[in-house]
Amino acid sequence: MIEIDDLTVQFGGVRGLSELTARLPEPVTGLVGPNGAGKTTLINVLSGFVRPTTGRVGIDGQDLSDIAIHKRAAFGIRRTFQNEQVVENLTAADNIHAILDNVPTDGQPRAALIAQALEFVGLAAKGNVLGRDLNAYQRRMLEIARAMVGRPRLIMMDEPGAGLAQHESEHLRDVIRQLHGHCGAQVLLVDHDVDLISATCTATLVLDFGSAIAYGATASVLAEPKVRAAYLGVLEDAT
């Protein structure tokens, strides 16, 4: 479970997050909101890239402020990036291998873990291809493969669906649906694609101006007038 208590992040005069409190227990949770709502900032706080100005975040009862940023991957906190960060001059397999130095592998052979992860995301045939020679979609899938090895507890994805062709979106959706069952990690999914969120997330948290404006079952949350007003740019009925 993701635990967020009274979390504020101030960037100079700009508030990234404002007194946010939430409990997110579902295996696959959506995180949505308009541009600048604070979604990436929340992922950055959970992964340690940004320090809270006030407040705290925790996972499964463990306060994350006690875990240094370089130890968070070993603890099980993983992410993909809004601008993906595949290493260009390493092969797909070696991109995953580099992570395995820093996470628990339970004595399993690395080659097997890498092969399994590549297979899961549909890159079984691409293990020897350099990062720079993968297309945008394949790089995104490689980031997911990298996140799922070595006992992850929480995998956060920052707009994995952006700019994909329809058949790629469909494959991404299947991968996200199976991810929790496959590796046991809780998944937090940020995306502007409401269809992707609806198809994969049992619960959804909606942010606006750094605060939670709704949380609950995805379909009912997305139907709320205040969510539609904030997120979809639909004006609330004045009646």
Ligand X SMILES: Nc1ncnc2c1ncn2[C@@H]1O[C@H](COP(=O)(O)OP(=O)(O)OP(=O)(O)O)[C@@H](O)[C@H]1O
Q: Which residues bind Mg ion (CB under 5 A)?
A: 39-40
CB of 187 to ligand X, least distance (A): 17
Half-sphere exposure of 70 (CA within 13 A, CB side): 1
| Window of 33-41, 70-78, 104-112, 226-234 that interacts with ligand X by CB under 6 A | 33-41
Tell me: does residue 58 bind ligand X (CB under 6 A). no
CB atoms within 10 A of CB 205: 27
Query: Is residue 204 close enough to count as binding ligand X by CB under 6 A?
Result: no
Residue 127, binding choice from Mg ion, ligand X, none, Cβ under 5 to 8 Å by partner class: none
- Does residue 38 bind ligand X (CB under 6 A)? yes
- Contact partner, 11, from ligand X, Mg ion, none, Cβ < 5-8 Å per class: ligand X
Residue 35 interacts with which of Mg ion, ligand X, none, CB < 5 to 8 Å by class:
ligand X
Binds ligand X (CB under 6 A): choice among 7, 24, 29, 40: 40
Chain residues binding ligand X by CB under 6 A are 11, 14, 16, 33, 35-41, 82
